[in-house]
């Protein structure tokens, strides 16, 4: 059985406070795109096997969230061996959530293959044990993420007809280290309220708190954002803790491939 784990954008990311458990409470809009990895799982004789193609993964196999997702359900439901193949297109370390999406889709596929009968809400609980934003990819619709990113609230955001461009530099940003450098702030308008405004106003009102520290250390990432605005983006931002930057355009942006070359990793028109 095959699935296509989608990536996400963070539209706004407020880091509200540090929690007693060491994590941070946040608020963000998770928005799924059609940029995907490829994931295939089939039953196997013998032992479980994992293979991978496409972009290289920085972690060893045992640290891969796909394997962790399988092991999590195997402990609960005594699953038989499987063969897993992951084709990686979403760049690791980009803030696009590819690894989390792969993990969530592993849970979804295993639920289908072995007829476990788990609801999306139950799968989201398992996904939350694998990573803060994994649960979002069980639902794959625009949602406000709260707490660590695992508590969701429905939101009505209409981006139909807009074009998205994603630029990924070669810089790898350590998320834990980035969190440690951000000063949390609770006193401001909520992301949910801000994204209800016309997209033309987002540039002046919606922030990703990581940009304050990341741009100081990596001015090249800030330059990507500025270039997207210069090319007509109505809104541009880092996603997550980076290092990918996206632009939202009210038209099909031209010549971005000439400007960014291989760093332009995705373009799409939002269809609904």
* Burial bucket for residue 128 (CB in 10 Å: 0-12, 13-18, 19+): buried
Asked about 154 being catalytic, the answer comes back as: no
For residue 62, pLDDT over 70 is answered with no
What CATH number has the domain bearing residue 247?
3.30.70.890
Final residue in a domain of this structure, among 154, 175, 202? 154
In this prediction, residue 9 has a pLDDT band, given cuts at 50, 70 and 90, of: very high
Domain boundary among 106, 130, 154: 154
Whether 178 and 228 map to the same domain: the answer is: yes
DSSP characters over the chain: -EE--EEEEEEEEEEEEE-TTS-EEEEEEEEEEEEE-EEEEEE-SSS-EEEEEESPPSS-GGG-HHHHHHHHHHHHH-PPPEEEEEEE-SPTTSSS-HHHHHHHHHHHHHHHHTT----HHHHHHHHHTT-TTTTHHHH-S-EEEEETTTEEEE-----TT-EEEEEE-S----HHHHHHH------S--HHHHHTS-GGGHHHH--BTTHHHHHHH-HHHHHHHHHHHHTT-SEEEE-TTSSEEEEEESS---SHHHHHGGGEEEEEE---
Identified catalytic residue from 88, 133, 168, 225:
133
| Model confidence at 60: pLDDT above 80 | no
Whether this model's pTM surpasses 0.85: yes
Question: Are residues 252 and 134 part of one domain?
Answer: no
Q: Do 111 and 205 belong together in one domain? A: no
Dihedral sign, Cα of residue 252, residue 202, residue 240, residue 140: negative
pLDDT-based confidence at residue 57 (cuts at 50, 70, 90) = confident
Are residues 122 and 250 located together in one domain of the fold? Answer: no
Six-digit token pair at 90? Answer: 């979403």
Residue range(s) defining the domain that contains residue 211: 163-269
Whether the CB-CB separation of 30 and 48 falls below 8 Å is answered with: no
Residue whose C-alpha is closest to residue 237's, from 221, 250, 253: 221
Q: Band of the pLDDT at 242, cuts 50, 70, 90?
A: confident
pLDDT at 63 > cutoff 90: no
CATH of the domain at 132: 3.30.230.10
Look up 8 and say whether it is catalytic: yes
Q: Is the pLDDT of residue 61 over 70?
A: no
State how far the Cα of 248 lies from the Cα of 269, in Å rounded to an integer: 10
């Amino acid at each position: 059985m095959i699935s296509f784990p989608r990536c996400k954008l963070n539209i706004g990311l407020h880091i509200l406070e540090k929690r007693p458990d060491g994590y941070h409470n946040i608020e963000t809009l998770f928005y799924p795109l059609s940029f995907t990895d490829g994931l295939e799982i089939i039953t196997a004789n013998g032992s479980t096997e994992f293979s991978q193609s496409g972009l290289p993964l920085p972690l060893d196999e045992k640290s891969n969230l796909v394997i962790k997702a399988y092991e999590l359900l195997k402990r609960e439901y005594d699953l038989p061996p499987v063969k897993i193949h992951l084709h990686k297109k979403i760049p690791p370390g980009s803030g696009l959530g590819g690894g989390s999406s792969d993990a969530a889709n592993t849970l979804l596929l295993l639920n289908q293959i072995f007829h476990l009968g788990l609801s999306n809400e139950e799968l989201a609980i398992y996904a939350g044990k694998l990573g803060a934003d994994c649960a979002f990819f069980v639902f794959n619709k625009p949602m406000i993420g709260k707490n660590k990113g695992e508590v969701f609230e429905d939101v009505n955001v209409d981006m139909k007809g807009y074009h998205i461009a994603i630029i990924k530099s070669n810089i790898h940003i350590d998320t834990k280290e980035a969190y440690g450098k951000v000063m949390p702030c609770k006193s401001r308008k909520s992301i949910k309220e801000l994204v209800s405004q016309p997209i033309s106003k987002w540039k002046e009102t919606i922030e990703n708190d990581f940009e304050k520290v990341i741009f100081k250390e990596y001015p090249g990432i800030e330059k990507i954002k500025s270039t997207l605005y210069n090319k007509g983006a109505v809104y541009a931002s880092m996603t997550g803790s980076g290092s990918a930057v996206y632009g939202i355009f009210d038209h099909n942006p031209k010549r971005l491939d000439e400007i960014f070359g291989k760093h332009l990793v995705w373009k799409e028109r939002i269809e609904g």
